[in-house]
Amino acid sequence: MSLAAQSLTALRRQLTAGEISARDIVEDSIAQISARDGDIGAFLSHDPESALAEAEKADLTLPLGGLPIGIKDNINVLGQPCTCGSKFLQGAYTSPYDATVITKLRAAGAIPFGRANLDEFAMGSSTENSALQITQNPAAPGHIPGGSSGGSAAAVAAQLIPATLGSDTGGSIRQPASHCGVVGLKPSYGRVSRYGLVAFGSSLDQIGPLTQNVEDAALLLNAISGEDPRDSTSLDASVPDFTEGLDAGVTGMKLGLPKEYFTDGIDAGVRERVETAAKKLESQGAEIVEISLPHTEYAIATYYIIAPAEASSNLSRFDGVRYGNRTENPADMLELYQNSREAGFGSEVKRRIILGTYVLSSGYYDAYYRQAQKVRTLIRQDFEKAFEKVDAIITPVAPEPAPKIGAAAGDPLKHYLADIFTISANLAGNCGISVPLEPLNGLPVGLQILGPQLGEQTILKVGRAVEG
């Protein structure tokens, strides 16, 4: 087994025992990327020389000392390109600073390595919206890896690198983790700093790990969590050791099955695997309780008003003047803006900017955006009531396994509807994790475990029980 195919915890044991070096691990990842990523397309770029230099001086006494971590290409890393999967930034922007999560990774001894592909500006659920390349699902070539963190999930699933970071605005860590057969954790909103993450939906975005197992996710979460004075939305909350108590089991826990998540639209095989996982947890001492999240049916509409509205505002900075590629020889300033954005943005980004601008415009703000915020409150209250009765909630991650590349071409609504089980956690600010279940016809399937805000320890324990 290659070193890149091993878990972070397994590599740590070998490093501290002196059996391998940090350079050995980085060299193996370089070799795996060189040999196989041409067929997968997980990485947009990587810098072997820089990673090897960091490996040589790695402090192996630190929790992540000497371990390479792939980074989604919307998280800033000093001196590296940050394209967001867009022509607008390709070749036009090199980060002048580290995001807070990168600073924290370095402080824990990790080596940020490689820029993972994504849907352009994280807008999508298949990674087909990347303007730079297609990413294949390593577990099922010819199928999407999910998105928007598709490159991050594919890199781990293909065993090109032990772990990666992604971002989750409406399921963009959990859904590709499910489709690729890896673990993906969306922390509670505010648990991890967003400073240095290129903003899509500022009230929804959260950075989190994609790993080979639950213990690795806990290990990475330890490193990146914590309050940050540069992010006013980060929470002033203590950070426990998430690796402690992972094997405590689920005896005495109450786990909710929301009836709204088991509809006619879900694939029968996916439903069967989630129900089998529930029975497994019940056999380990958990109590399975049917619950209701009555406003779930409004989540898609609510999300696709709020998220595009925030995207419209956040992406206004990409104007051909301050950031990104600019059109040549414009007649005037208006033409500079129009032509730069027309050439730089892909169709999905344009669609969301237009939709977001519309719902924020005079005469429509109250009818759409304000109403959506009210419904968002109702969705959050649904979860608050549910968590008064149960410790965690278990659901499918996606209605079906990964479809083939191009299956939903020209039909953005089909992609939007595929997010039905993941977006509510972002609207409510809750934490969630995807843990692999038995594949369905060779295609990975994930179990989603949702917890209350700052309930990561609970969902990690449940996830570990599912693994065991």
The answer to whether residues 444 and 199 touch, using CB atoms and an 8 Å cutoff, is no
Q: In whole angstroms, what is the distance from residue 304 CA to residue 33 CA?
A: 36
Q: In whole angstroms, what is the distance from residue 113 CA to residue 160 CA?
A: 11
Question: Helix axis angle, 347-360 relative to 299-314, nearest 10°?
Answer: 100
The string over 27-44, giving b where at least 16 C-beta atoms fall within 10 Å of a residue's C-beta and e elsewhere, is bbbbebbeeebeebbbbb
In the set 86, 126, 130, 148, the catalytic residue is 148
Active site annotation includes 172: yes
Q: In whole angstroms, what is the distance from residue 127 CA to residue 147 CA?
A: 5
Q: In whole angstroms, what is the distance from residue 340 CA to residue 338 CA?
A: 6
Rg of the chain over all Cα atoms, to the nearest angstrom = 21
In the set 125, 152, 172, 225, the catalytic residue is 172
Backbone angles phi, psi at 264, to 5 degrees: -65, -20
The answer to whether residues 70 and 116 touch, using CB atoms and an 8 Å cutoff, is yes
Kindly give, in sequence order, each residue whose CB lies less than 8 Å from that of residue 140, ignoring residues fewer than 6 positions away.
401, 402, 442, 443, 444
Q: In whole angstroms, what is the distance from residue 431 CA to residue 244 CA?
A: 18
Active site annotation includes 280: no
Active site annotation includes 232: no
Which token pair is 164?
A: 């990666």
Backbone angle region of 142, left / alpha / beta, with phi > 0 → left and psi within -120 to 50 → alpha = left
CA angle 419, 194, 383 (to 5 degrees): 45
Kindly give, in sequence order, each residue whose CB lies less than 8 Å from that of residue 55, ignoring residues fewer than 6 positions away.
21, 22, 23, 25, 26, 66, 68, 111
The answer to whether residues 303 and 419 touch, using CB atoms and an 8 Å cutoff, is yes
Q: Which amino acid is it at 461?
A: K
Kindly give, in sequence order, each residue whose CB lies less than 8 Å from that of residue 100, ignoring residues fewer than 6 positions away.
193, 195, 196, 228, 230, 231
Which token pair is 437?
A: 């279940």
Q: In whole angstroms, what is the distance from residue 467 CA to residue 159 CA?
A: 19
Task: Give the helix/strand (H/E) hosting 435.
Answer: strand 431-436
Please choose, from the candidates 196, 227, 224, the residue with its C-alpha nearest in 3D space to the C-alpha of residue 211.
224
In the set 29, 72, 434, 461, the catalytic residue is 72
Active site residues: 72, 148, 172
